[in-house]
């Protein structure tokens, strides 16, 4: 699953296209395996809707979310590829003056109410894959509005201590957990989370690295 066709470009370049396999789904071949690529569109609503539709209609040996992300940690540099093993719905809650209350703190959801563990969406049993195991494991947040203001970046860093952020990851993980399918969220860092500075982004490099790692995961 990808949010945009651009994120899948280098990945599908290494596959053999078979044809359409449903709405927003293209089937490819990789070795002896079928690979169905779902392009959901950007954001949590589109991701959750299209992923659930597909996972309810077919069974998969492995589901991958390939995408880009921003990094909160300078040690996780643009162009690097990471495995997001836990994610959080970073904006799901309420403001109470200058405080932010999570949905769990509001008492509307228990910390360990399925599919959450400790308020997070956790991939407790990643697929046994050598390439995947060699990727840096990180914690993420998923947001509708990416951070680009010093004050909000500092606040969310203090609140959750995330390594990376995306606009789709938690929705993908939520769907996979409730459908009980093996999954991995794999992302390449396109930028450091800071005031919006497109000149410092490494988007082409990130997408190229993402495609290479995605193909290695299939091969191994």
SS3 111: coil
Mean pLDDT of the chain: 96
pLDDT 10s digits, 55-83: 999 999 999 999 999 999 999 999 999 99
Statement: residue 198 has pLDDT above 90: no
pLDDT 10s digits, 137-158: 999 999 999 999 999 999 999 9
pTM value is: 0.95
Identify the CA nearest to 45 among candidates 147, 164, 138, 174. Answer: 174
Statement: residue 31 has pLDDT above 90: no
**Whole-number pLDDT of residue 203:** 96
Distance CA 157, CA 85 (A): 18
- Kindly state the helix (H) or strand (E) to which residue 218 belongs, with its residue range: helix 203-219
Domains of the chain (ranges, CATH numbers): 61-219 (3.40.50.1580)
**Whole-number pLDDT of residue 9:** 96
Omega of the bond leading into 208 within 30 degrees of 0 (cis) = no
- Kindly state the helix (H) or strand (E) to which residue 131 belongs, with its residue range: helix 130-133
Place of tokens 């995947």: 132
Share of the chain above pLDDT 90, in %: 95
pLDDT band of 98, cuts 50, 70, 90: confident
Other beta carbons within 10 angstroms of residue 19's beta carbon come to: 7
């Amino acid at each position: 699953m990808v949010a945009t066709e651009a994120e899948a470009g280098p990945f599908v370049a290494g596959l053999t296209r078979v044809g359409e396999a449903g709405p927003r789904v293209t089937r490819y071949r990789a070795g002896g395996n079928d690979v169905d690529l779902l392009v959901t569109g950007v954001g949590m609503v589109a991701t959750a809707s299209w992923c659930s539709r597909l996972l309810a209609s077919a069974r998969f040996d492995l589901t991958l979310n390939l995408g880009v992300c921003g990094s909160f940690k300078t040690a996780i540099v643009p162009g690097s590829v990471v495995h997001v093993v836990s994610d959080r719905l970073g904006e799901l809650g309420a403001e109470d003056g200058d405080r932010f209350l999570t949905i769990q703190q509001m008492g509307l959801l228990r910390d360990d109410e399925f599919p959450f563990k400790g308020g997070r969406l956790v991939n407790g049993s990643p697929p046994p894959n050598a390439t995947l195991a060699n990727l840096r494991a990180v914690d993420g947040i998923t947001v509708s509005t990416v951070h680009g203001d010093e004050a909000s970046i500092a606040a969310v860093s203090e609140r959750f201590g995330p390594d990376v952020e995306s606009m789709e990851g938690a929705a993908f993980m939520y769907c996979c957990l409730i459908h009980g399918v093996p999954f991995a969220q794999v992302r390449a860092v396109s930028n450091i989370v800071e005031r919006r500075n497109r000149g410092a982004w490494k988007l082409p490099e990130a997408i190229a690295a993402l495609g290479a790692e995605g193909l290695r995961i299939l091969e191994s």
